[in-house]
Amino acid sequence: MLKWVWGGLLAAGLSGLAAPAAQAQGQVRRHLVYLRDKTGTPYSVAQPQAFLSARAVARRTRQGIAVLPRDLPVNPAYVTQIRSVAGNPRVVYTSRWFNAVLVSCDSATLGRISALPIVRRATTLNRYSQTPAPIAPPIQVPPAVNRTQATRAQYGPAYRQALQIGATAMHDAGYRGDGMQIAVFDAGFPGVDQIPAMQPVYLENRLASTRNFVDGGTSVYLRNSHGTNCVSAIAANQAGFYIGTAPKATFHLCITEDVYSEHPVEEANWLAAAEYADSAGVDVISSSLGYTEFDAPSPSYTYADMNGRTAISTRAATFAARVGMLVVNAAGNEGDDPWHYISAPADADSIMSVGAVDSLGNRAYFSSYGPTSDGRIKPTLSAMGLAAAVLAPNGGAFRGSGTSYACPILAGMAAGFWQANPTLTAQQVIAALRSTASQANNPDNSLGYGIPNFVTAYNALHPTAPLAAKASSATAETLGLYPNPTGDGPLTLVLPAGLQGQPLRVRVLDARGAVVLQQQLPATSSRELPLRTARLAKGAYTCEVSAGTSRQTVKFVQQ
């Protein structure tokens, strides 16, 4: 179970609005029935349009990804055989990638299903539900809008988290997620259709679909508000109050998580949602979910299982990445717990697992550590997840904490980056953001490759036509420096208002904190100043600029 930290309260599971106990899917047994083959299927890889949308086929074509036998739907004749077994089994959904059927039935009926020649094996995914004690809802606080700063006033409390990863500059450059499709997997989305800041999604017909994989059907404005919080970090768009990181994207809202129990059936829901997203032509999956421990008698995972090959959700995320979707998943909030490590599906290869930092780029105390049990660096990247701003079902803004929030914040920026670089594959998007992030040269298992930045990554791909200096630098309140990463050429400091018009002391410190450059600059009214540097060795540096008692820093990478 992934923990979320909200409003200063650390809570296991999810809090906020929840479904009535009768809706807990753990009260009926569900089993994943694996089939032996797809022999005799009426579907063919030569005619993918029979089971994939045109958009899904186009996504594969752009990235050079072939439609494979694993993409073929489960043989309908096999499904009919299962439905015909005595005991009235209910087929909840099927899985193309696992060649499996999720069935709801009792143990005796499952025994008869397992005896069918078409069945390879069956696994029970849940046995009974446990209704958790109520958890306090997130603390509501008014948005801290500073009307003296034009950019800050536009974004409201979401300003800092967008600024940190270059999303404000991305928006200034015209990339707000237009034409990109994002699927959000979570525990519920109450109020999303009523929140004023979310109304542009509906008025502009950018809600592509809704699916409830827990209760069935398409009703998603119910259950738990965690999904509301997460999707707002991407999609909200109310200037002067709150702007998310991809406010012009198109969305699919999927409920996969049942907060009243914790069993592997929720991972199967994740699998079904991923296959649905694939068939619908989704570009980006944002999932603030994770799995380590389950309610008894379902066996829990061990750290050894976090190897990218074991957990149902991990295998599903890997398949999703292989068909060309960009999967962005929260790393987990177990960093200060005995578990300590990332959760599934964050251990999946080829996805973007997201750790959490504060507004200054320091690791959040709860953010889960890597590596995976087979030694791969995790998380992949990090974004603001400590005191991040999100919206509640009533439309109010509050600050909460968790990799749950870092994940959608970064997913929105990644969607905008892909919009700006449409010829890239999903894996190339990850590589571009990773190779230019703040710890690209010294990745670790705390923040991964560090904090990415849209402008840095964009300019690395477009060296002959970089974004304008004002888009690539900080705003009027934050010290900036470009180009970043830098090469042999000169650096330019972009001064915030608080440092302009005063004599300045500049120091450059290496990764160990040793001063490698020190320089005095005269007072000037100019906002941009050249910084003369000797040739620096490759690595990460911090530039510190002081004027009187004011001091600001900015990190950069020397390539």
Q: What is the CATH number of the domain that holds 86?
A: 3.30.70
Q: How far is CA 442 from CA 347, 359, 435, 449, 515, in A?
A: 20, 21, 10, 7, 19
Answer yes or no: do 67 and 194 share one domain: no
**Residue 350 has what pLDDT?**
97
Mean pLDDT of the residues in the chain: 88
Is the residue at 333 inside a domain? yes
DSSP 8-state code for residue 16: S
CA dihedral 331→336→338→339, nearest 10 degrees, is 0
Answer yes or no: do 100 and 157 share one domain: no
Round to whole Å and give the CA distance between 311 and 72: 22
Round to whole Å and give the CA distance between 190 and 220: 7
Is the residue at 19 inside a domain? no
Answer yes or no: do 426 and 519 share one domain: no
Round to whole Å and give the CA distance between 276 and 31: 19
CA atoms within 13 A on the CB side of 359: 13
Answer yes or no: do 105 and 150 share one domain: no
Backbone angles phi, psi at 18, to 5 degrees: -135, 160
Q: Find out whether the peptide bond into 20 is cis, omega within 30 degrees of 0.
A: no
Answer yes or no: do 274 and 162 share one domain: yes
Residue 336 maps to which CATH number?
3.40.50.200
Give tens-digit pLDDT for 121-168.
999 998 654 443 333 343 333 333 333 333 677 899 999 999 999 999
Helix H or strand E encompassing 201: helix 199-203
Residue 31 is among the residues annotated as catalytic for this protein = no
Alpha helices in 253-391 (DSSP H): 265-280, 312-322
Q: List the structure tokens of 348.
A: 């999946």
Domain interval for residue 418: 146-445
Which regions of 40-192 does DSSP assign to beta strands (E)?
90-95, 100-104, 119-124, 181-186
Answer yes or no: do 238 and 323 share one domain: yes
The residue from 71, 172, 186, 305 that is catalytic is 186
Give the residue from 388, 359, 382 showing the smallest Cα distance to 370.
382
Residue 226 is among the residues annotated as catalytic for this protein = yes
**Residue 264 has what pLDDT?**
95
Q: How far is CA 517 from CA 189, 473, 506, 512, 530, in A?
A: 51, 21, 8, 14, 14
Answer yes or no: do 412 and 515 share one domain: no
Is the residue at 398 inside a domain? yes
Is the residue at 455 inside a domain? no
Q: How would you classify residue 542: left for phi > 0, otherwise alpha for psi between -120 and 50, otherwise beta?
A: beta
Round to whole Å and give the CA distance between 323 and 271: 13
Answer yes or no: do 400 and 488 share one domain: no
The residue from 31, 171, 226, 263 that is catalytic is 226
Q: Which amino acid is at 123?
A: T
Round to whole Å and give the CA distance between 380 and 444: 9
DSSP 8-state code for residue 27: G
Q: Which amino acid is at 165?
A: I
Give the residue from 557, 559, 503 showing the smallest Cα distance to 529.
503
Residue 106 is among the residues annotated as catalytic for this protein = no
Name residues of the chain where pLDDT drops below 70. Answer: 1-27, 127-151, 468-477, 482, 484-485, 487-490, 534
Alpha helices in 301-341 (DSSP H): 312-322
Round to whole Å and give the CA distance between 14 and 5: 9
Q: Quick one: how far is CA 457 from the chain centroid?
A: 18
Answer yes or no: do 165 and 219 share one domain: yes
Q: List the structure tokens of 97.
A: 């990638």
The residue from 404, 438, 446, 473 that is catalytic is 404
Round to whole Å and give the CA distance between 451 and 447: 8
Three-state SS for 104?
strand
Is the residue at 290 inside a domain? yes
Round to whole Å and give the CA distance between 527 and 546: 15
Is the residue at 306 inside a domain? yes
Query: For residue 355, with 0-12 CB atoms within 10 Å meaning exposed, 13-18 middle and 19 or more buried, which class applies?
Result: buried
CA atoms within 13 A on the CB side of 138: 31
Give tens-digit pLDDT for 372-430.
999 999 999 999 999 999 999 999 999 999 999 999 999 999 999 999 999 999 999 99
CA atoms within 13 A on the CB side of 528: 13
**Residue 16 has what pLDDT?**
24
Query: For residue 49, with 0-12 CB atoms within 10 Å meaning exposed, 13-18 middle and 19 or more buried, which class applies?
Result: exposed
DSSP 46-64: T-GGGTS-HHHHHHHHHHT
Three-state SS for 26?
helix
79, 94 in Cβ contact below 8 A? yes
**Residue 9 has what pLDDT?**
28
Answer yes or no: do 309 and 428 share one domain: yes
Cα Rg, the chain, nearest whole Å: 24
Round to whole Å and give the CA distance between 491 and 559: 13
Per the structure, the count of domains in the chain is: 3
Three-state SS for 512?
coil
Is the residue at 16 inside a domain? no
Answer yes or no: do 214 and 285 share one domain: yes
Round to whole Å and give the CA distance between 162 and 406: 11
Is the residue at 76 inside a domain? yes
Answer yes or no: do 310 and 250 share one domain: yes
Give tens-digit pLDDT for 332-354.
999 999 999 999 999 999 999 99
Which of 404, 430, 445 is where one domain is finished?
A: 445
Model pTM?
A: 0.79
